[in-house]
Amino acid sequence: MKKKYYLIILLLLALSSFTITDIFYKKTYVYKNITGSTETTNTLLLKKKKDDFFITETSDLGITDTVYSFKYVLKELHFQSAKEDSDYKFTIDKRKLSLKGRAFGRKIKREYVLSDRWIQDFTFGLRPFLDSKRQKYSFVILSPNDFSTNELIASKEGIEKIKINDTTYNAQRVMITLPGFKAMFWRADAWYDLDTFDLIKYRANKGPGTPMSTLVLDSKK
């Protein structure tokens, strides 16, 4: 009888420890976004609840809430614009992606059957690729302007030392391009800390003729 109660107590302690760990598992990332002479700030708050990560990003564009699985597979995304009449949500079931809400003042409801895995941000979305031995990684991303699907390819380009503020990182450089000849029209470069896979720098424009933007990790706690 004593052994039975002892096992029950151990089980309760184990369950409570997981709950306490989840409550206190929080990380805050602050990024500076520089485009020409304009500098803005993006703040990301990451929390762990059970087997999922909940991330809230606040920027001058609005608030984005995303849910990732424990292995950083994107499950849903909710965006509320600070400037436009937009409030919409993506949810995915296997390869079936659903979009519902308002975009630019109009109701929107769409469904997609994706040809590849879905990634919507490069801060956390490429972690499965970074934590693998693969050199290339194909995926689908949706344009926030017209919600069209775009196929992209991420390629590991080597290890570089990157200094941000007073910290020097050993970083995996990743090049992100459109497939085939379309790669001539757009590309992005991203650098990730090899120890944590945190995004520490990202550089790209929004297309031909648009200014280059650089995102850098300013602080993390």
Q: What is the pLDDT of residue 167?
A: 94
Q: What is the pLDDT of residue 18?
A: 45
In sequence order, the β-bridge partners of residue 155 are 136, 175
Residue 5: pLDDT band (50, 70, 90) is low
Residue 10: pLDDT band (50, 70, 90) is very low
Domains and CATH numbers, the chain: 26-220 (2.50.20)
Q: What is the pLDDT of residues 43-54, one digit of tens each?
A: 999 999 989 999
For residue 194, pLDDT over 60 is answered with yes
Lowest mean pLDDT, pick from 1-15, 21-35, 104-118, 147-161: 1-15
Q: What would the two tokens of residue 162 be?
A: 């990157």
For residue 160, pLDDT over 50 is answered with yes
Q: What is the pLDDT of residues 23-65, one digit of tens each?
A: 558 999 999 999 999 999 999 999 999 899 999 999 999 999 9
